[in-house]
Structure 1
Amino acid sequence: MSTASATVITPRDQGNRTKGAERALGIGLAVVSGLAMATQSRLNGQLGAELHDSLFAAVISFGGGLVLLLLALPFSPKMREGLRSVAGGVREGRFSPWYCLGGVGGATYVAGQSVTVSVLGVAMFTVGVVAGQTLSGLAVDRAGLGPAGPQALTWTRVLGAVLTLAAVAWSLSGSLGSAPAGLWLLVLPLVAGALMAVQQAFNGRVNAQSGSSLTAALINFTGGTIVLVLAWLVSLAFGGGPHAFPSNPLLYLGGLVGIVFIALASVVVHWTGVLLLGLATIAGQLIGSVLLDLIVPAHPATLGAATFGGTGLALVAVGIAAISTRPRQG
């Protein structure tokens, strides 16, 4: 008589499977978020070019998202309860008010879209953001700014970050000679990318405190809109303001697209950490930006093999960074 040995699944094994499933789902949602970000870049860049006022285009994008969220607030008890929870946490000292400033990073990103995309194209803007976001993501994870707490610098995470930077360099190599006069504009997406990693960590903290991704998005859009409006008012002293408003209604949807990726990121960061969220988002951005520059290019420059090769390498980097390993004991 033969007996079959039963496989015993321990609570630890079950927990690891659950974390693995959450990580896989988080990566997929982050890629979708990245596609949305690339789309927003194209919309805001075109809007800024047609208005001849890049900062006002950013105000329209961020302000439009804020208006939509404020309109939804009376119909969402969860959003209102989330706001009360954040306010109570700040008042009682359980929640740092600094976590409510994630919108500053978002404002920098949207301003960068409006200023640089029409000159550099979506792909070049995206790879600039990638470089800043990757380096900042390593630091933010190590410092534990996100809701998942400190994330160890495992060899897979570090290798994924290094390969992502290599992908950026590869993508840029084909464009360095085509737009030398505008390359200084890459400084803005580099700074925006660095602040985005902080933004994702802070928004994740707000989501964890409030229990509502839309509350996190509302606080993000409120802070970002205030910063952009102030910056635009200052810019009026040096310029004449916007020209005629474009008639294409699609150009005004940047704020709606922004709500999608801000809300997704505030949820996903708890499952993936800031670095892996950033790398998966980057993969989505690169895929989306290449497709957009192929289908509806913002400038006449053509995409070369380096851009496609860099995008492929970035996807490999995300896969490596997603591998779970135990950190070395020091």
Structure 2
Amino acid sequence: MHAHQATPSRPALSADAESVGAEGLLPRLALTPGEPAGIGMELVAKLAASDFAADLIVIADPGALDAAARAAGIGLRIASYDPSETITARARGSVRVIAMSLRAPAVPGTLDPRNAPYVLATLARAADGAASGEFDAIVTAPVHKGVINDAGIPFTGHTEFFAQRAGRDVVMMLTAPGGGRAASGGALRVALATTHLPLSAVPAAITRAGLVRTLRILCDDLIAHFRIAAPRVAVLGLNPHAGEGGHLGREEIDEIAPAIKQLRAAGFDVQGPIPADTAFVPAQLERYDAVLAMYHDQGLPVLKHAGFGHAVNVTLGLPYVRTSVDHGTALDLAGGNRADPGSLLAAARLARDLAKR
């Protein structure tokens, strides 16, 4: 999703007055700023400049973080991270940093493959810390998949990286305000059966077994983390008109419908296959807590139209909480103090809330 642009900056983040943890300690969030030539450092600095109630642990090059903050008119107070130190309050503009050095100087808007190993090292440190319980959650700013692959490192995205490192089957889900069942907060939630694949590879990736795994993870996490006691899930068809009874494709008959039948037999409220062109009609969405789309650009354009800049990407199925922004590196905005931190704030809030649960 790194090709999308972030919207121009807004004047300030809204106040944050939510409570700390049960023992009075702030939840500890690991922040990875992502591609150093993009807007990630600026977004992290703007989050730190707010009164967001969390212990923010930034895994990054401290010099690059400070430079991005200064370019945005923010004077950060950067302290070295000591894992034995816990805090009950965080002053505006203060962060703790796990220092990792860039391989080459970061130039706003200019990608450099030499920094690809640095980006992946920050993700690995966050994943290992979250898996051990050192961090309560991970919040990621956007990476640039292309430049990582240009460095000769196979990489398809954050979601796949964390899944492989944890050895878990995972599901990508984006959530945005408005559009879903009022009974579950009215949020629009769109999960994906496949993620970062060429469109030509999608049909072969739609299998009954894969859909059953995905739907189980989706339903289980909606229950466990989102506190939806009996989630209702709409499953989209792959083909136009959900295959038109087999006349426009057989994936619905051979793979999707049998998976739905299996989940329903196990007691889950899963409906479909539903034609994708009508599933997002407001009257339809009001019936469901989440929608499972068959591929990336089947479901996410609708969600981003509804809530771009305030939507959050959540990785379901991990042994820890991980959230991310809904936009890309926005190289054209980098270094200009024009990036809107709204999605990062939303991602941090959701990570904090899910971690508390």
Verify same fold: TM over 0.5. Answer: no
Q: TM-score, normalised by structure 2?
A: 0.25
Q: Which is richer in strand?
A: 2
TM-score, normalised via structure 1 length: 0.26
